[in-house]
Structure 1
Amino acid sequence: MVRQEIKQIHDKVMQNERPQNLDDYIRAMQQREVRIIPSINKQGRLQGFRFEYKGHNLKGSEVRRSMSG
């Protein structure tokens, strides 16, 4: 299941690379073919993130509740 694959990739990145900021995290996920797409609300503020992987596009909360914005 794609959700579980994204979560496993996320867990490996957090455990092995320990990104110090959001840019490092995004870069590490992209190296594993997971694209991070920021969700911006109508006020122009960051609302959350979407994860694109193997043709699927999921909200962070759909992957795991703690992975939402």
Structure 2
Amino acid sequence: MDLADWMVRQGLALDWPQYSKRAYAEARHEAERHERGVWQGSFVQPWRYRTCLRRRGKRPAACSDEAG
């Protein structure tokens, strides 16, 4: 069994396409479709959050999923 695949399917981990080359995209879609784990609520993917902080020079609150 692929532990990473299982974790992504349960919504306990994210598929980071930069490194996985979308190997877990199907697992992510399943978790998202069934609102498992992190997909039960809203959030900003960690890589997008860090990019927001670095490139845009914003404060953490401005990069949250509630910013708008």
Q: TM-score, normalised by structure 2?
A: 0.32
Work out which of the two has the higher radius of gyration on C-alpha atoms and give 1 or 2. Answer: 2
Higher helix share: 2
Give TM-score, length-normalised by structure 1: 0.32
**Hey, which of these two has a bigger chunk of strand by percent?**
1
